[in-house]
Amino acid sequence: MPGRKQKFLKGKPIVPRPIPKNVSVTDLVDNYFQAYNAGRLREACHLFAEKILSSDGTVGMSITGALTPAGLGGSCIVPLMKAGFIDWLVSTGANLYHDTHFAIGHSLHRGSPFADDRLLREKRIIRIYDIVFDYDVLLSTDAFYRRLFRLREFQTEMGTAELHYRLGKYVAEREKVLGIKHSGVLATAYRCGIPVYTSSPGDSSLGMNIAEVALAGYRLKLDVLLDVNETAAIVLAAKKNGGKSGVVILGGGSPKNFILQTEPQIQEVLGIKGNGHDHYLQITDARPDTGGLSGATPAEAVTWGKVDPDRLPEAVVAYVDSTIAFPILTSYVLARVKPRPLKRLYDKREALMGGLYKEYTRFKNRRSKARHA
């Protein structure tokens, strides 16, 4: 009986010691985030630092919610990219579009969520909860992108990773010309060779401006099916020869599904043997009981083949606002983990697709032989 008790009491004792002045983020997380969702955030920091960023791990991140207008593109995503802690990214188009405001010299401002929106509309001011900016910021960013979409190199069909890479080249050049000190997400992804995907490319101002140039007769088209196979190829290659695939999910929505559906695409649709992602970390404020994907638990994801059942005990969901948790998570792992060599997966897309096709053909032929045996 004493042995059974000890099994449940082996956790670190909770110590109500006073928090010192100027405590470091790592000390705060390790020693003062002791229970409830503070405890889950501590577990998330440890999972990211100790397991997901292991030497053989490939890390995919998905982002939803208006994170980049709040500055989290430059403050969190960019440093993680440069450190080699994000190998591929799935984002809403809106996050990429709004991050570009900073890259081309515009400013967004702290405001109030209680302003009179009728007056803001009259004054041509846009509000994202407590962020405000001039309507001309939208018009200027729209014009910037439409000029790019009309260039000869964009008059073809491509996946969203290629679209964002080509855009990143011009965003990086604009930052250089304007002397922008802190690079944005697209420019950094371009420099680091990180593929960036958008699961619903029409659902943002980027897609809206592509639609405008299509009306004007230009020939840019997005191949969303290529995105499905490219992302599956990244995960398949990550797990080859005992490697690991980890996902860090901020919020939920379509990007969450897109980053997780890579495993069902491999197993269920392409018929290639697999076990699911090895590491799962989510920060969300969505409840699981409403049935929405945003709140769906990693345990539920196991039933779809999205998460390796053997790794489920390590999965962490922290029910915290991303704007609070993400800076803490970023600071923690940057302090605890040495930078990793960049995988530059964008440069390897053709080879990765070749590997996916080879495995798909092999398993397809095996199934065909079994049916005719």
**Is 256 labeled as catalytic in the residue annotation?**
no
Residues 41 and 33: beta-carbon distance below 8 Å: yes
Query: Phi, psi at residue 306, to the nearest 5°?
Result: -80, -30
Residues 240 and 272: beta-carbon distance below 8 Å: no
Residues 220 and 210: beta-carbon distance below 8 Å: yes
Residues 222 and 210: beta-carbon distance below 8 Å: yes
Q: What is the SS3 assignment for 13?
A: coil
Residues 273 and 85: beta-carbon distance below 8 Å: no
Residues 344 and 193: beta-carbon distance below 8 Å: yes
Per-residue tokens: 255: 């990007």
Output b/e per residue, 152-183; b: 16+ Cβ within 10 A.
eebeeebbbbbbbbbbbebbbebbeeeebeeb
Residues 36 and 23: beta-carbon distance below 8 Å: no
Per-residue tokens: 196: 């960036």
- CA atoms of 273 and 219, how far apart (whole Å): 38
Q: Point out the catalytic residue in the list 306, 338, 348, 358.
A: 306
Per-residue tokens: 195: 């593929």
Per-residue tokens: 29: 């997380």
Residue type, 198: T
Residue 183: name the closest of 171, 199, 201, 197 by CA. Answer: 171
Report DSSP state, residue 310: G
Report DSSP state, residue 50: I
Q: Maximum CA pair distance of the chain?
A: 77
* Element holding 248 (H helix, E strand): strand 244-250
Active site residues: 306
